[in-house]
C-alpha cells in the first residue's frame, strides 16, 4: 500500500492504532512501538488542525487587506487590535 497524501497517512496510522493492540503478540510488537504509532498519529492530527487554523487566519487577513484597499474612501480604516 502506497501513501500518496497526508490524509492517507493519517488514515493508515488510525487503522494501525486501532489494530495494533489486538495483533500485538502475533506481530511481535512491543508497547513502545504501539505508543510510537499513537504519538505519530497525534502529531499529524495536530499539524493538520494547526495548518487549517493558519490557512483560515491567512484568508481573514487577506479579506481585511482587500477591504482596506477596495473600501469606501469616506470610511476610515479601523485600527488593528
Q: 25 is written with which cell numbers?
A: 503478540
43-69 per-position pLDDT tens digit? 999 999 999 999 999 998 888 888 878
Distance CA 38, CA 20 (A): 10
9-23 per-position pLDDT tens digit? 999 999 999 999 999
Residue 71's pLDDT is what? 76
Residue 80's pLDDT is what? 67
pTM here is: 0.75
Chain mean pLDDT for the chain? 90
| Surface-to-core class of residue 75, CB atoms within 10 Å of its CB (0-12 exposed, 13-18 middle, 19+ buried) | exposed
> 28: helix, coil or strand?
coil
Amino acid at each position: 500500500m502506497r501513501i500518496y497524501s497526508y490524509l492517507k497517512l493519517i488514515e493508515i496510522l488510525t487503522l494501525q492504532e486501532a489494530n495494533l493492540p489486538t495483533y500485538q503478540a502475533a506481530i511481535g510488537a512491543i508497547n513502545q512501538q504501539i505508543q510510537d504509532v499513537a504519538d505519530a498519529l497525534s502529531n499529524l492530527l495536530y499539524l493538520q488542525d494547526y495548518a487549517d487554523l493558519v490557512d483560515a487566519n491567512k484568508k481573514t487577513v487577506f479579506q481585511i487587506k482587500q477591504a482596506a484597499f477596495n473600501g469606501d474612501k469616506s470610511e476610515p480604516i479601523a485600527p488593528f487590535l
